Amino acid sequence: MRKILSLFVLALFLSSCASLPFAEEKVEIEKNLFTNLPGSSGKVFAVKFDDTNDAHPQQGVESADVVYITQVEAGLTRLMGIYSSNYPEALGPIRSVRISDLSILGEYGRVGFLYSGAQSKMRPAIAEANLVNLSAERNPPSIYFNDPARRSPYSMMVKPNLLLEKAADVEFAKKPGWQYGPRAKGAQKIISAKIDWPNASYEAYWSATERKFLLKHNGRENMASSGAQLGSPMMVIQMVKISPSEFGDKFGGVTPKSEVIGSGDGYLLRNQRVVKALWNRASLSEPTTWSLEDGSPAYFAPGQIWFFLTDTEPKFTYLPKPAKS
C-alpha cells in the first residue's frame, strides 16, 4: 500500500511540474544580426582603416562584424569595419573618409562614423549623410591618439569605447539584407580566390585546419597586431562600377567611387566553395539583397563577413576533381 501511495505522489509531482510555465519554455540564444553568431546587437560604429603595406599589421579588424574593402586613390585599398557586438580597446591605424563610404553606410541606418578627417569639399556631403560624426576632427587626443610604435601617417588609433558616451543618436543594429541558410548546391570547391585592384591585391585561401578562408594582402599573410591571421568562413566578392568622383586627395589624386546602389554580379565564398550570385539595392537607405542566378536566396554562412568591392573579375583556383578509377 505504501509503495502504491509513493508512486501516486511521485506521478502527481511530475504532473504538476510539467504544468508549470517554465517547464515548457525553450531558451533561445540571442544572436548578432550581422554575423548570426551568439551575441548581442548594439549600436553600429563604422571605422575607417588604412590598408597600405605600412599600415599593417592592423589592430582590431578581427573584431568587426563586417569588413568592406574599397578602392581609393592610386589604385590602393582601404578598409571599413562595422562594429555592433564588440568594441575593442583600440583600433587602427585610422584614416580619412571617402565618398564611397557614405553610400555603403546608408543601409545601416544612423551609424557612428570613426575616421581621421576629411577634405573640406567633402564636409557638406558628410553633414548631409545619415550618420553621427565621431571623427578625430571632433574628439580629443585622449580618444584619437598616435601609437608611438608606428610612424606617421600610419599611427593614428582610436578608443571606440570612449565614444559610446557620445553615441546617443547612433542607432542599434537592424536586420541586414543578406540571409543565413544552407550553402547553394551548385557551389564549386576552390583552393583560393584572388581579388585585384590596380595597386593592391588580396587572396583568400581555404584552411582545412581552421575551417575558414585565410587572407593574404599583397602576397603576404594578412596578420593582425594580435598575431592572428585575418580571415573568415564567409567572403563576398561584389562586382561594382568604379569611376572617378569629383573629390580627390591632397596630392592631386582623383578619388574613385564604388557604385553600390543598383544591381550587379558577385560571388559568395563559404565552406571551401564559391557560387555566383546577384546583388540588388534599390536606394541609399535600403539594404543590399543577395540571390542566386535562378532567383532563389543566396544564403550566407555565420561569421564575420568580408566584402571585396572590385570591378575586376576574381581569379579562382578550383580543387581538381578526383580521377575516376
Query: Where do we find the cell 565618398?
Result: 99
Bridge partners of 179, per DSSP, are 299
- State the virtual CA torsion across 72, 289, 195, 73 in degrees, nearest 10: -10
Which candidate, 184, 103, 168, 99, places its Cα nearest to that of 134? 168
What is the arithmetic mean of pLDDT over 190-214? 98
What is the arithmetic mean of pLDDT over 294-298? 97
**Tens digit of each residue's pLDDT (9 = 90 or more) over 82-118:** 999 999 999 999 999 999 999 999 999 999 999 999 9
pLDDT of 20 > 90? The answer is no
What is the arithmetic mean of pLDDT over 35-57? 97
* DSSP 8-state assignment for residue 53: G
| Chain mean pLDDT for the chain | 92
Per-residue model confidence (pLDDT) at position 323: 66
Alpha-carbon distances of 324 from 65, 164, 304, 320, 321, rounded to whole Å: 42, 59, 37, 12, 9
Is the Cβ–Cβ distance between 268 and 301 less than 8 Å? no
Separation CA 80–CA 105 (nearest Å):
10
pLDDT of 317 > 80? The answer is yes
Which candidate, 280, 307, 301, places its Cα nearest to that of 291? 280
Is the Cβ–Cβ distance between 130 and 110 less than 8 Å? yes
pLDDT of 147 > 70? The answer is yes
Separation CA 96–CA 47 (nearest Å):
10
pLDDT of 66 > 70? The answer is yes
Instruction: Mark out the alpha helices in 154-195 (DSSP H runs).
Output: none
- Using a cut of 0.85, tell me whether the model's pTM lies above it: yes
Taken in order of first residue, the domains within the chain and their CATH numbers are 45-166 (3.50.90.10), 179-318 (3.50.90.10)
* DSSP 8-state assignment for residue 76: -
Rounded to 5 degrees, φ, ψ at 275 are -140, 145
